[in-house]
A and B are shown apart, each in its own frame.
Chain A
Amino acid sequence: MGKIGTQIGEMRHTEAELLSARMETAAASTRKMKVLIACGNTLAILFLLVKGFLIHWEARKRNLAEENLKQANERLERRTAELSETNSELESFAYSVAHDLRAPLRHIAGYSSVLAQDYGPRLDAEGLRCLTTIVDSAGRMGRLVDDLLALSQIGRKALAFQETELGSVVAQVVEELATESAGRDVEWQIGELFSAECDPGLMKQVFANLLSNAVKYTRRQQHAVIQVGLSTQNGERVIFIRDNGAGFEMQYADKLFGVFQRLHKARDFEGTGVGLAIVQRIIRKHGGRIWAEAAVDQGATFFFTVGTPEIKVREQPEPAIHEEEMHVARS
């Protein structure tokens, strides 16, 4: 019995020892845990602080960038407005000048004609020659002024977009050119074109100017060939108009579309040098491009794209400026 009692006593002792050892371990664990939690919290707080600072810094940077962007936009808008104002001022200036030049010109032409009619018999050959030169020059200047007016009117015109079958526009123009090519051997090769969103009246003018040029510059060919067709360049539809006429030197190609620029002598081929400027202006207004390739006496080819209908959205707000300019032009 005593042995059992001793053993129980030992067991209790051992248990008590184990218990105190475990309690010590637990206490150490708890302390460690507390230190860990404290450290963790401190770290988390530190992390949050850093994060908060970073966010704040980033937001400030963004605000600053936004502010800069806004200012840049405003500057850009101001400049665009200024440019468009200058542009419309220039257009109405060109218009008024051309318009006001017409009246005195009409008087020069008119009174020279009256002089020729009433006093012609009293003038000698040299006198009549001088008078004829005055009448001819006044007439030529009249055509220049009228072409200039047409050019400035196109600049100020708002485009009226409409789905247009370009093939029928070409057919119409070719028919109207019949009188110009009458008595000549002109072979027309008209390929398939397409239907485009464009201003039909202006697009007709493009074809009329380009095709009448083709008729004019093939005048010295026994057999003139004028082609109208479609090609694709970089996935874009390109219309071309090719002739086998006089052509031009490629080194002057950049002058081709300038106002009053001519690559031929008036003696060889008459013209005011406004036709291609009008063509380029119309094409650009449609958001398209135009260029040409040629060689002297080997014909010329004009290429152009009609542009995309998206452009029309951008072009639409023009009438507001248009109205205002009209007023300036008339006053």
Chain B
Amino acid sequence: MSHEVEILLVEDSSEDAELTIRALRRYKIANEIQVAEDGAEALDFLFCRGAFKDRPPSQVPRLVLLDLKLPKVSGLEVLKAIRGDERTRAIPVVVLTSSKEERDLIEGYKLGVNAYAQKPVDFEQFSETVRQIGMFWMLINQPPPPGAFATSKAQGA
């Protein structure tokens, strides 16, 4: 299995994380969900550093669900780092946040986000939003073949 962790959920609020995971499991979209509580932890996980230094780098999550307002390293900075590195460039990143500030939207798309959704207050709508995102990115969307980007980096170097 190349995708051990299916979804990396970058979310500092444990309540939001729990509700998101609940929705993902309820609709049987993903079981292997890694939660990173801030941007720094997310980057450590993605680039196999710090607490995740023993994680095999070939295993990239199939989807990153990214909150924007995060302690230490902001969501947009995480996005920038993901898009800036050959190993992680192709990972679909969906921003799931409270803010629909025009500035965040513009910056998010400039940095190459795949989708941008606002967390609805109503739980049924929230579950439905998470379900639709999960359905599309985990079941309908075709990810790039495993290792495709790691190889192109080796060739390019």
Contacts and interface: CB of A to CB of B under 8 A. Distances in A.
- B is bound to A: yes
A199 interface: no
B121 A99 contact: no
A142 B122 contact: yes
Given A109-B121, A110-B123, A113-B123, A330 B101 contact: yes
Nearest to A142: B121
A153 B99 CA distance: 11
A145 B100 CA distance: 13
B110 interface: no
Interface string A129-157: 00000010011011101100000010001
B119 A106 contact: yes
Contacts, number: 61
A139 B19 contact: no
A329 interface: yes
A266 B123 CA distance: 23
Contacts of B44: none
Interface residues of B, number: 19
Interface residues of A, number: 26
Interface centre among B103, B120, B122 (most CB of A within 10 A): B122
A145 B121 CA distance: 10
Given A103-B16, A326-B103, A110 B98 contact: no
Nearest to B104: A330
Contacts of B19: 106-107, 110-111, 114
A102 interface: yes
A295 interface: no
B15 interface: yes
Interface in A46-93: none
B108 to A, nearest CB: 13
Nearest to A157: B102
27 contacts: A102-B98, A102-B119, A103-B98, A105-B121, A106-B15, A106-B16, A106-B119, A106-B121, A107-B16, A107-B19, A109-B121, A109-B123, A109-B126, A111-B15, A113-B123, A114-B22, A114-B123, A135-B123, A138-B121, A142-B121, A146-B121, A153-B102, A157-B102, A326-B103, A329-B101, A330-B99, A330-B104
Interface of A: 99, 102-103, 105-107, 109-114, 135, 138-139, 141-143, 145-146, 153, 157, 323, 326, 329-330
